[in-house]
A and B are shown apart, each in its own frame.
Chain A
Amino acid sequence: MKKLQQRYRYSLILLKQLVKTDFKLRYQGSVLGYLWSLLRPLALFVILYVVFTKFLKIGEGVPHYPIYLLLGIILWNYFIEVTSGSITAIVGKGDLIRKINFPKYVIVVAGSFSALINLTINFVVVGVFMIFSQVDIRQIVVLLPLIVLELFIFSLAMAFFLSAAFVRFRDINYIWEVLMQGAFYATPILYPLSLLPIAAAKWLMLNPMAQIIQDIRYVLITPQTQTIDQLYGTQLIRLVPFGIVLGTAIVATWYFRSRQRFFAEEV
């Protein structure tokens, strides 16, 4: 028991340092530094605002559509940052892995936390816009941390799987890149779900990312967002995306654990 505690302590110390280092190195050499974390979503918002309110008027029915879009994109970006970033995480730390024995999962979790910091900053920007656009903030917003938790778990699970798989299969990163380009359009991020035929929308919403993005938009911006339970007419349908998240988490953890013994030899 004491040994377990000791190991846990070690992981925490390492995790903290890795996240810190990552944060320090991220904007190293850039003039504006950490400000970029704020400027990027801001600039994105300006673009979205111009494009979707002046030219493409596909989101007219949805109130605060630019913020609605921005929110979808930052959530998607978080997912991409965690997963794509994780692919080379283990291999990138190969030098370390070959020289000292430490809990390898820390590397992946650290990447996930770095992205979470970024996501938090993005949420702050979104919050500011919400105040300016006088978005009605409702009580249901208390559910936000729970949905973010789901997003965190799902992204982390994928990250575990991808990082471990990449040690053996070095073309995972190309496959994932293509896959995610497709998935971006298969998820209702840029377009409102109402543009699709109901049958297609029903299928798309089973994807945990679609369910998460729509739910967060629902609790933060507008109750006019179509969520998975509205589409199916029952809350029970949530068990499908939740199940996918849970299943991914179990399989990925098992895979990572069984592979990590060999990382030092294979990286």
Chain B
Amino acid sequence: MADDIAIKVENVSKDFSYTRRKAVTVKSAFTSVFKRKAKDEKTVQHALKDISFDIKKGEFFGIVGRNGSGKSTLLKMLAGIYQPTKGNITVNGKLVPFIELGVGFNPELTGRENVYMNGALLGFSEKEVSRFYDEVVEFAELEQYMDKKLKNYSSGMQVRLAFSMAIRAKADILLIDEVLAVGDADFQRKCFNYFKQLKGLDTTVIFVSHDMTAVRQFCNRAMLINNGIIQNIGDADEVAFYYSKLFADDHDKRLLQSNKYSGKSDYIKKLTIDIGEYIALSGLICPIKDLQSPIFGFVVKDSSGTAILGSNTKMLSQRTGTLKKNSKHTFSWRFPNILSDGEYTIDLALVGEDGTSIIEWLEEIGRFVIKKTITSPYSVMPEITLKLTEKK
């Protein structure tokens, strides 16, 4: 194996076979010896099919894919937890997996004891743990809690402790699986800072994530796994783009039905979303009772549920006047399409004149997908101009 390669995966396949009844008993083992025909129907699931790739030393390598695509299986094989059914995996250097934070944490032990246990799993002797013990506690901000049992910790405290242990691990290769999915914003910032540090070192990092922003930001290279095969491997931006496209394509099909708004609302009878240079929402309101100058608004949310833009008649200083019972009113909103790739949902809301009494709030009443040719890690892409002039 070439010296600059950290991990070499050659023609690896992984099958999981399930027999009908999962727990085998001694009796059934005996009877199946005698009754060959009683062999249960075996269903084989091909989690990975003949995968080959290399990861170079010092690389920050992303693995992306949908749930069930086989990426976790691959990660477990890289970590040596699962054995490949076929093929070879060669690992060059000390590999530490973070499939989960705080592996081996025991709720019945104190924080201190757990640090030593977790340290042992990461390959640290007691002496070595003692040397950095104070730092760990300080970093986790848990000075007063170390002699309390872990079961009395909040989940946030546990994660903090686990993370401050995890970053002690001295590895040539780190496997990180969705660690960022837990913890609050502050904790995520800590994680990102740690990754930034790692990028400067020689550590090879393999990073499995659903967060394309993180993948674009950190990874030199990435790989998209879909249905057990490598669909795309190469530049992280490109792979992230294909990953988003995977969802977009899927949604296009669904959208054909879902975009046609069914009209379960009492007030809003129609909603159409047009996407072009501008995004236009238009529809029909038919009140079932008289509404005195209601406030009418919308919110656009991204796939994580964060409201990213919206407006209403009050903000726009637009008086709606009286909407009579059973009358029909059309509406249309329009805003420049500055959204970057992804899936978005729309809430529509009708609120009373006072601004507090909700007449109707329709969550995720509309859904649309943006697919642009240029990609960006940021959620909005307004037109940005740059002028670079040399100063004389």
Which residues of A are interface residues toward B (Cβ below 8 A)?
A: 6, 9-10, 13-14, 16-18, 20-21, 24-25, 28, 96-102, 168-172, 175, 261-262, 264-265
Q: How far is the CA of A104 from the CA of B116 in the complex (A)?
A: 19
- In contact, B97 and A100 (Cβ under 8 angstroms): yes
Apart from A20-B116, A100-B103, what are 11 other A-B pairs with CB-CB below 8 Å? Answer: A13-B120, A13-B123, A18-B120, A25-B109, A97-B81, A99-B103, A100-B79, A100-B99, A101-B81, A170-B23, A172-B26
CB distance from A82 to the nearest CB of B (A): 22
Q: List 10 A-B contacts (CB under 8 A).
A: A9-B125, A96-B121, A99-B81, A101-B97, A168-B24, A169-B29, A170-B23, A171-B27, A265-B16, A265-B82
- In contact, B97 and A21 (Cβ under 8 angstroms): no
B211: A residues at CB distance < 8 A:
none
B87: A residues at CB distance < 8 A:
none
Q: How far is the CA of A18 from the CA of B80 in the complex (A)?
A: 21
The interface residues of chain B, by DSSP majority, are classed as: loop
Q: How far is the CA of A99 from the CA of B80 in the complex (A)?
A: 10
- In contact, B121 and A14 (Cβ under 8 angstroms): yes
Determine which of A14, A101, A170, A175 lies in contact with B80 in the assembled complex, contact meaning CB atoms within 8 Å. Answer: A101
CB distance from B227 to the nearest CB of A (A): 20
- In contact, A17 and B120 (Cβ under 8 angstroms): yes
- In contact, B103 and A17 (Cβ under 8 angstroms): no
Q: How far is the CA of A101 from the CA of B24 in the complex (A)?
A: 25
Q: How far is the CA of A9 from the CA of B16 in the complex (A)?
A: 33
Which residues of B are interface residues toward A (Cβ below 8 A)?
A: 16, 23-27, 29, 76, 79-83, 94, 97, 99-100, 103-104, 106, 108-109, 113, 116-117, 120-121, 123-126
CB distance from A92 to the nearest CB of B (A): 12
Q: How far is the CA of A86 from the CA of B76 in the complex (A)?
A: 26
For the complex of A and B, list the 9 residue pairs with the smallest distance between their C-beta atoms, beginning with the closest. Answer: A101-B80, A17-B120, A264-B81, A99-B99, A261-B83, A13-B120, A99-B103, A169-B26, A170-B23
CB distance from A169 to the nearest CB of B (A): 5
B117: A residues at CB distance < 8 A:
17, 21
CB distance from A65 to the nearest CB of B (A): 40
A264: B residues at CB distance < 8 A:
76, 81-82
- In contact, A96 and B103 (Cβ under 8 angstroms): yes
A14: B residues at CB distance < 8 A:
120-121
Determine which of B83, B94, B121, B126 lies in contact with A262 in the assembled complex, contact meaning CB atoms within 8 Å. Answer: B83
CB distance from A254 to the nearest CB of B (A): 18
A101: B residues at CB distance < 8 A:
79-81, 97
- In contact, B100 and A10 (Cβ under 8 angstroms): no
Q: How far is the CA of A9 from the CA of B82 in the complex (A)?
A: 23
- In contact, A21 and B109 (Cβ under 8 angstroms): yes
Known: A16-B120, A25-B109, A96-B104. A169 touches B24 (CB 8 A): yes
Name B79's closest neighbour in chain A (CB-CB). A101
Name A168's closest neighbour in chain B (CB-CB). B24
Q: How far is the CA of A10 from the CA of B121 in the complex (A)?
A: 8
CB distance from B33 to the nearest CB of A (A): 13
- In contact, B25 and A170 (Cβ under 8 angstroms): yes
- In contact, B83 and A24 (Cβ under 8 angstroms): no
Name B123's closest neighbour in chain A (CB-CB). A10
Known: A96-B104, A169-B25, A170-B25. A17 touches B116 (CB 8 A): yes
CB distance from A26 to the nearest CB of B (A): 11
- In contact, B109 and A24 (Cβ under 8 angstroms): yes
B27: A residues at CB distance < 8 A:
171
CB distance from B38 to the nearest CB of A (A): 17
A102: B residues at CB distance < 8 A:
121
Known: A13-B125, A21-B109, A21-B113. A98 touches B81 (CB 8 A): yes
CB distance from A152 to the nearest CB of B (A): 23
Name B78's closest neighbour in chain A (CB-CB). A101
B106: A residues at CB distance < 8 A:
21, 25
B94: A residues at CB distance < 8 A:
6
CB distance from B218 to the nearest CB of A (A): 23
Name B95's closest neighbour in chain A (CB-CB). A101
CB distance from A249 to the nearest CB of B (A): 23
CB distance from B238 to the nearest CB of A (A): 32
Which of B79, B104, B106, B117 lies at the interface centre, i.e. has the most chain A CB atoms within 10 A of its CB? B104
Name B26's closest neighbour in chain A (CB-CB). A169
Which of A20, A24, A101, A262 lies at the interface centre, i.e. has the most chain B CB atoms within 10 A of its CB? A101
Which of A13, A14, A18, A175 lies at the interface centre, i.e. has the most chain B CB atoms within 10 A of its CB? A13
Known: A99-B100, A264-B76. A171 touches B81 (CB 8 A): no
A16: B residues at CB distance < 8 A:
120, 126
Name B124's closest neighbour in chain A (CB-CB). A13
CB distance from B45 to the nearest CB of A (A): 12
- In contact, A171 and B25 (Cβ under 8 angstroms): yes
B103: A residues at CB distance < 8 A:
96, 99-100
